[in-house]
């Protein structure tokens, strides 16, 4: 009991500690996943600002070989950007999503132009110099700047003194078309000097507003392209509205609140699920015990552990399932008790049935000879008839035979209990099994009273030459061995139809000597086969008129066991029966074995 108490205390302490660890780990993992998701969303919203620094940090360098994580390649393709990595000689050693018109080798003036203007040909380009491992690499991240190109073309075509000529306004509006794009011309103070398109804004831009729109493109509803006219000092700005669904204007605080709300809900649900599982796991065994005790209290021992209960508690290999392992001593003790009570109940019923069958058999077996003796005695006592010497001799013979039968029956009863309790002993000797079994079978062959069965004997070495043949010797008592074989053969004769062939064989198998008694008769059902060696049992196929108390096979089995042997039965209804007796050969008998039999007779 102390062991169970200690295990319960330790178990529940560990369970609550694991629950705390589980909640903390879940909370941490959830926060990390949500934080990563927020970072990814923020990166998409502000891409490519800050992306180049992250790309440089995540690139793997092995000499001149560069490896970029695949997610960045997907991000570049999705955003319409390209990436090139140059070594110290200006050679491109890595390229991702790069257009065909880009160079594979850049000169010093090309790179200076990119660094000064932020453009290369028709592309807007950002640069980052990496000096890791005492080597220099230049990263170019760019994208097609169609808006700046269009503004440059429009300035040359429609511009005058940095503004759009009045006669070109309609032409520009037609080129803007239905895309809801608009062009604004802004002076050095941020005031809108001229606006072409559907823009409704009239207020001037603050000094940092345009820079913010360029630095955080994901935070604004439109994409901006700028072209600066150095002669007039004006900046031409093209605003292109984003596609529906690509712009979100939630503040960062809103995202943080969502993180904590989602995390709290997840932790609450997981904790609730764990609590339900915990209660079910430790409550289920108690409910099961309550059902067991209720059935036990009602005396339903055979239902105390139903098949459903066994499947709940035990696995197929017999081990206790995890949820019930905490109470394994209780379950083992209860299961053992219920099994014993159930077995005792079955044994009591079996013994009661056997007793009734035994009493029925005894009554049947004694009634017939007693009726004969009683009838002849009554005739002799009456004095109404005169008997000849031959008739009196016949009567005496009949009375003697019936008395002998009753005496043998009583001897069988006594022998059964003596063999069961090892209360008798007989001397052992070497017996050559082939010749011994041959003689026993020969008696049946020569018995003229047996007309309904045929007998065949097959010797172990009969197919071998005389030089190869060897004796099959066992340690046994000739009288009891003969009694054993007679019981088996007689049983085959009595319980099979006329014309049955009974074959007796001797065989050698490893260190064992075998005697096989088989027939092609009626065979036995499964119940008869299982109970064949039970005392007083008469098979379901036995004719009611058959003599005997059902002791012959029980005595044969006891004699086999007393000789350190074993007996096996194979039978199928309508096919026949095969009984295999297995004994150790004399040379292989264990020296530690002491014979049960010394001297004496029944």
pLDDT along the chain (602 residues), means of 10: 62 72 75 68 62 82 81 82 89 89 88 82 84 82 82 86 87 78 87 84 80 68 80 86 53 61 76 73 71 73 69 78 73 74 76 70 70 84 84 86 77 64 71 92 85 88 54 87 87 88 92 92 85 61 45 80 88 91 75 38 30
Residue 390 tokens read as 């031959």
* DSSP symbol at 224: E
Q: Do domains 147-249 and 424-588 have the same CATH topology?
A: no
What's the pLDDT tens digit per position in 302-322?
666 677 777 777 787 878 777
Q: What is the C-alpha to C-alpha distance for residues 359 and 543, in angstroms, rounded to an integer?
A: 17
Cβ-count burial 303-316 (b if 16+ within 10 Å, e if not): ebbeeebeeebbee
Mapped onto helix, strand or coil, the DSSP state of residue 554 is helix
For the domain made up of 424-588, give the CATH fold.
Answer: Heat Shock Protein 90 (3.30.565)
Say if CB 98 and CB 111 are below 8 A apart. Answer: no
Residue 210 tokens read as 């345009």
Strand residues in 147-213 grouped as ranges (E): 159-160, 163-164, 182-186, 192-196
Q: What is the C-alpha to C-alpha distance for residues 88 and 334, in angstroms, rounded to an integer?
A: 82
Contacts of 210 (CB under 8 A, 6+ apart): 186, 190, 224, 226, 235, 237
The top-level CATH class assigned to 354-418 is mainly alpha
Q: Which long-range contacts (CB under 8 A, 24 or more apart) does 297-301 make?
A: 301/338, 301/341, 301/342, 301/344, 301/345
Q: What are the distances in angstroms from CA 294 to CA 80, 291, 338?
A: 75, 5, 12
Find how far residue 99's CA is from the centre of its chain.
Answer: 55
Residue 584 tokens read as 């150790």
- pLDDT at position 507: 92
Say if CB 504 and CB 517 are below 8 A apart. Answer: yes
Where does 51-144 sit in CATH, by number? 3.30.450
Contacts of 52 (CB under 8 A, 6+ apart): 126, 127, 128, 139, 141
Taking the domains of the chain in order of start, what are their residue ranges?
51-144, 147-249, 354-418, 424-588
Q: What is the C-alpha to C-alpha distance for residues 86 and 66, in angstroms, rounded to an integer?
A: 11
* DSSP symbol at 589: S
- pLDDT at position 506: 93
Average predicted confidence (pLDDT) for the chain: 77
* DSSP symbol at 303: G
For the domain made up of 147-249, give the CATH fold.
Answer: Beta-Lactamase (3.30.450)
pTM as predicted: 0.38
CB count in 10 Å sphere of residue 225: 20
Say if CB 331 and CB 322 are below 8 A apart. Answer: no
């Amino acid at each position: 009991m102390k062991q169970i108490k200690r295990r319960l205390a330790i178990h529940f302490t560990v369970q609550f500690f694991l629950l705390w660890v589980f909640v903390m780990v879940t909370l941490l993992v959830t926060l990390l996943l949500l934080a990563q998701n927020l970072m990814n969303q923020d990166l998409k919203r502000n891409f490519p600002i800050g992306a180049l620094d992250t790309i440089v940090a995540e690139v793997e360098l092995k000499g001149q070989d560069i490896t970029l994580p695949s997610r960045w390649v997907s991000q570049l393709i999705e955003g319409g950007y390209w990436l090139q990595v140059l070594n110290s000689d200006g050679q491109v050693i890595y390229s991702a999503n790069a257009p065909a018109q880009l160079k594979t080798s850049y000169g010093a003036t090309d790179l200076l132009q990119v660094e000064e203007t932020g453009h290369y040909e028709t592309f807007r380009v950002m640069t980052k110099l990496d000096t890791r491992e005492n080597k220099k690499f230049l990263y170019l991240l760019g994208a097609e700047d169609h808006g700046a190109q269009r503004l440059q073309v429009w300035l040359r075509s429609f511009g005058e003194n940095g503004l759009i000529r009045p006669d070109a306004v309609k032409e520009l509006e037609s080129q803007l078309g239905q895309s809801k794009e608009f062009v604004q011309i802004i002076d050095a103070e941020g005031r809108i000097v001229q606006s072409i398109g559907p823009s409704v804004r009239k207020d001037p831009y603050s000094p940092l507003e345009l820079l913010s729109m360029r630095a955080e493109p994901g935070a604004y509803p439109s994409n901006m392209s700028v072209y600066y006219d150095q002669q007039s000092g004006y900046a031409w700005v093209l605003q292109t509205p984003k596609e529906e669904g690509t712009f979100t204007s939630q503040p960062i605080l809103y995202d943080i609140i969502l993180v904590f709300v989602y995390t709290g809900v997840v932790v609450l649900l997981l904790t609730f699920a764990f609590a339900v599982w915990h209660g079910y796991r430790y409550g289920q065994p108690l409910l099961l015990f309550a059902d067991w005790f209720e059935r036990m209290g009602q005396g339903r021992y055979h239902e105390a552990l139903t098949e459903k209960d066994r499947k709940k508690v035990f696995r197929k290999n017999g081990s206790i399932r995890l949820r019930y392992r905490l109470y394994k001593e209780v379950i083992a003790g209860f299961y053992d008790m219920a099994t014993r009570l159930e077995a005792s109940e079955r044994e009591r019923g079996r013994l009661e049935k056997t007793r009734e069958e035994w009493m029925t058999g005894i009554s049947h077996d004694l009634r017939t000879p007693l009726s004969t003796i009683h009838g002849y005695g009554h005739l002799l006592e009456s004095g109404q008839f005169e008997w000849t010497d031959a008739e009196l001799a016949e009567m005496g013979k009949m009375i003697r035979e019936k008395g002998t039968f009753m005496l043998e029956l009583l001897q069988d009863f006594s022998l059964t209990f003596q063999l069961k309790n090892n209360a008798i002993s007989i001397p052992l000797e070497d017996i050559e099994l082939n010749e011994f079994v041959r003689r026993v079978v020969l008696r049946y062959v020569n018995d003229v009273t047996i007309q309904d069965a045929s007998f065949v004997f097959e010797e172990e070495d009969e197919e071998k030459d005389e030089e190869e043949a060897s004796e099959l010797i066992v340690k046994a008592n000739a009288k009891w061995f003969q009694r054993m074989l007679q019981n088996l053969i007689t049983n085959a004769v009595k319980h099979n139809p006329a014309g049955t062939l009974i074959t007796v064989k001797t065989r050698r198998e490893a260190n064992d000597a075998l005697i096989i008694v088989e027939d092609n008769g009626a065979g036995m059902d499964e119940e008869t086969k299982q109970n064949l060696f039970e005392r007083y049992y008469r098979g379901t196929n036995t004719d009611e008129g058959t003599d005997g108390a059902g002791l012959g096979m029980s005595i044969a089995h006891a004699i086999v066991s007393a000789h350190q042997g074993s007996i096996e039965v194979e039978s199928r209804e309508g096919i026949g029966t095969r009984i295999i007796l297995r004994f150790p050969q004399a040379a292989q008998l264990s020296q530690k074995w002491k014979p049960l039999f010394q001297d004496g007779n029944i």
